[in-house]
């Protein structure tokens, strides 16, 4: 799981470049809560950012990290999957 989160966290600022100001503010609020290790508050802010700008991937990436810190690995996986769908438009796999 750590191997998956590192590239996600590196790519997150690039993904969030086109967000709405309120989604950006909510994401920043979540980041502040995350930095204070208040993962519940961080998740709430990230979920609000997701609702404000559903096309964005970054709130899902950030929510995945908050879930991971809470050892909610299923929640982290679900958020990562949603972020990938938002980022790529659809998950496809080469055979």
List the beta strands (DSSP E) in the chain. none
Distance CA 36, CA 95 (A): 43
Task: Determine the 3-state secondary structure of 36 from DSSP.
Answer: coil
pLDDT at 87: 83
CA angle 86, 51, 8 (to 5 degrees): 40
Closest CA to 49 of 36, 34, 37: 34
Question: The domain spanning residue 44 has which CATH number?
Answer: 1.25.40.10
- Give the pLDDT band (50/70/90) at residue 88: confident
What is the percent of the chain where pLDDT is above 90? Answer: 64
Answer yes or no: is 94 within a domain.
no
Q: Is the pTM of this model over 0.85?
A: no
Into how many domains does the chain fold?
Answer: 1
């Amino acid at each position: 799981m750590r191997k998956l989160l590192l590239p996600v966290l590196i790519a997150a600022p690039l993904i969030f470049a086109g967000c709405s100001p309120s989604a950006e503010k909510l994401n920043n609020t979540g980041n502040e809560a995350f930095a204070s290790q208040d993962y519940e508050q961080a998740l709430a802010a990230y979920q609000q950012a997701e609702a404000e700008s559903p096309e964005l991937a970054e709130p899902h990436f950030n929510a995945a990290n908050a879930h991971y810190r809470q050892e909610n690995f299923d929640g982290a996986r679900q958020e990562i999957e949603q972020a990938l769908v938002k980022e790529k438009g659809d998950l496809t796999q080469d055979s």
